[in-house]
Amino acid sequence: MSLIEGLLQTSSTVTLLGAVLFLLVLYLRASGSSSEEQGKEPPGPRPLPLLGNMLQLDLKRPYLTLCELSKKYGSIFTVHFGPKKVVVLAGYKTVKQALVNQAEDFGDRDITPVFYDFNQGHGILFANGDSWKEMRRFALTNLRDFGMGNKGSEDKILEEIPYLIEVFEKHDGQAFDTTQPVIYAVSNIISAIVYGSRFEYTDPLFTGMADRANKSIRLLGTASIQMYNMFPWLGPWIKNLTSLKEIVVDMKMEVGKLVRGLKETLNPQMCRGFVDSFLVRKQTLEESGNMDSLYHDNNLVISVTNLFGAGTDTTGTTLRWGLLLMAKYTHIQDRVQDEINRVIGSRQPLVKDRKNLPYTDAVIHEIQRLANIAPMAIPHTTSRDVTFQGYFIKKGTSVIPLLTSVLQDDSEWESPQTFNPAHFLDEQGGFVRKDAFMAFSAGRRVCLGEGLARMELFLFFTSLLQHFSFSPPPGVTEDDLDLTPSVGFTLNPSPHQLCAVSRI
């Protein structure tokens, strides 16, 4: 090596070391001054420079680590995901105080790098400010118009149920994976509301969208994506990020194709679904000369992608947990079926039947509570400097409402770790609502489709239990059925098969 090459190499090393030292000084100054100047910050484990508390976190299941930390540091504490400071809220009372009582303070969305990459501040789930307010308002208004959470939704679900039952019947009592048929059935409900029509389960465009949405949820929960959110410069070396980018590109292309098809047949006097309404609003604003409106193609495509993904995964995942739990706890399944037989008989269950099926309703709620499919919710951020329970939280701080700590709060639930429908029943066997049931989160960012999801879960679950008894595959006992969730942005059951034995 020549003298010049050696000097260049030495110079690069010195530069790198200097940069690292500079970052360390900035970090130490920032972490040491704020509490003195602005007030006491929430306690937490001491972070390492740059790495934060990363070495203490289970990156595949961070909610478990955070629950353990809450036992030591209390219901509000600070943890560092790499260099990023995050405040964690644990327990029903603390989460409710933040999300409901101080909704404005904690109501903004923390948009992590991976979600910014794919949404760019557009759409409904990962947006803030005027764009988010307008898109959410428009979505709520129009989704209700097209049946979300009302009689229109019920009709769409009742139309879909026979198709799902037919798929289950084809297996003739043999073991099969429930994932795809359940996901396709649930996807078709949001598709009918968004696009104006359902799809056949054999339609490659539809199955491709549903399968990709399902796969993206799994990838978003992997440790490597958590690492990317902490250290975005690692992006080029993260294989799962590359896979996610490919999926998102394909999904946007598919949505774009469907939107173009609807645009070609658009009738402003007869909107078929959410997309039509958006296109009509966009066209009206453009004709009036408003070219800077929020009704543009990016907001349309990303809003539709948000609605399709969220409307498919959460309900489909919960329903799959429900069938697995019925196969594991057959005495509860028997009691649900007895109630359905007594109250409904062989006719199709309807939404109005819910009030007469208190045990079934309690079982569905307990499935949601124990499944705990969104244990950390989607992170929030403070919209201004906040003093909360005596602690100072700076504007723009990431906040995690630890929903798993709410759904398993031992001061709210008699046996939080077990599957116990009695959590939602009074002494006379009547259904009891619980404030600590925050399966849909709460406050300004409460799930947009809560009403639709509740209706889908009730109608799909009761219809399937009316037609089938669910059991483990041959050679597998009820005790062998594993309730450990698989890794993902939401918690899905681990891969499994069930037998659906016809009762009719």
pLDDT in tens, 8-43: 344 334 344 444 444 444 444 444 444 444 679 999
Q: 99 lies in a domain?
A: yes
**Res 72 pLDDT > 80:** yes
Where does 9-114 show beta strands of DSSP type E?
76-81, 84-90, 108-109
Under 8 Å between Cβ of 501 and 494 = no
**Res 488 pLDDT > 90:** no
Structure tokens at 458: 């009730």
Under 8 Å between Cβ of 285 and 334 = no
Structure tokens at 113: 């790098």
Number of CB atoms found within 10 A of residue 72's CB: 10
Number of CB atoms found within 10 A of residue 339's CB: 20
Q: Which residue has the higher pLDDT, 254 or 292?
A: 254
Give tens-digit pLDDT for 313-342. Answer: 899 999 999 999 999 999 999 999 999 999
Q: State the sign of the Cα–Cα–Cα–Cα dihedral 213, 244, 239, 492.
A: negative
Give tens-digit pLDDT for 274-292. Answer: 999 999 999 999 888 877 7
Tokens 């704020």 identify what position?
34
CATH number at residue 82: 3.30.43.20
Q: Identify the pLDDT of residue 147.
A: 67
What range does the domain containing 78 cover? 37-112+373-407
Under 8 Å between Cβ of 83 and 48 = no
Q: 138 lies in a domain?
A: no
| 193-206 as b/e: b if 16+ CB within 10 A | bbbbebbebeeeeb
The mean of the pLDDT values for the chain is 90
The predicted model scores a pTM of: 0.91
Q: Identify the pLDDT of residue 19.
A: 44
Residue 293's pLDDT band, with cuts at 50, 70 and 90, is confident
Give tens-digit pLDDT for 162-210. Answer: 999 999 999 999 999 999 999 999 999 999 999 999 999 999 999 999 9
Q: Identify the pLDDT of residue 28.
A: 46
**Res 375 pLDDT > 50:** yes
Q: Identify the pLDDT of residue 143.
A: 81
Residue 142's pLDDT band, with cuts at 50, 70 and 90, is confident
Number of CB atoms found within 10 A of residue 438's CB: 24
Q: What percent of the chain has pLDDT over 70?
A: 91
How far is it, in rounded angstroms, from Cα 129 to Cα 127?
Answer: 7
Please tell me what DSSP assigns to residue 339.
H
Q: Structural domain tally of the chain? A: 1
Give tens-digit pLDDT for 207-232. Answer: 999 999 989 999 999 999 999 999 99
**Res 371 pLDDT > 80:** yes
Distances (CA, A) of 178 to 184, 329, 495, 497, 499: 10, 18, 10, 7, 9
Q: 168 lies in a domain?
A: no
Q: 385 lies in a domain?
A: yes
How far is it, in rounded angstroms, from Cα 57 to Cα 61?
Answer: 8
Q: 106 lies in a domain?
A: yes
Q: 180 lies in a domain?
A: no
What is the rounded average pLDDT of the residues 415-429? 96
Helix (H, G, I), strand (E, B) or coil at 388: strand
Q: 63 lies in a domain?
A: yes
Indicate the pairing of strand 499-502 with strand 468-471. Answer: antiparallel
Give tens-digit pLDDT for 427-486. Answer: 999 999 999 999 999 999 988 888 899 999 999 999 999 999 999 999 999 999 999 998
How far is it, in rounded angstroms, from Cα 182 to Cα 214?
Answer: 12
Q: 281 lies in a domain?
A: no
Whose CA is closest to 357, among 419, 431, 449, 421?
431
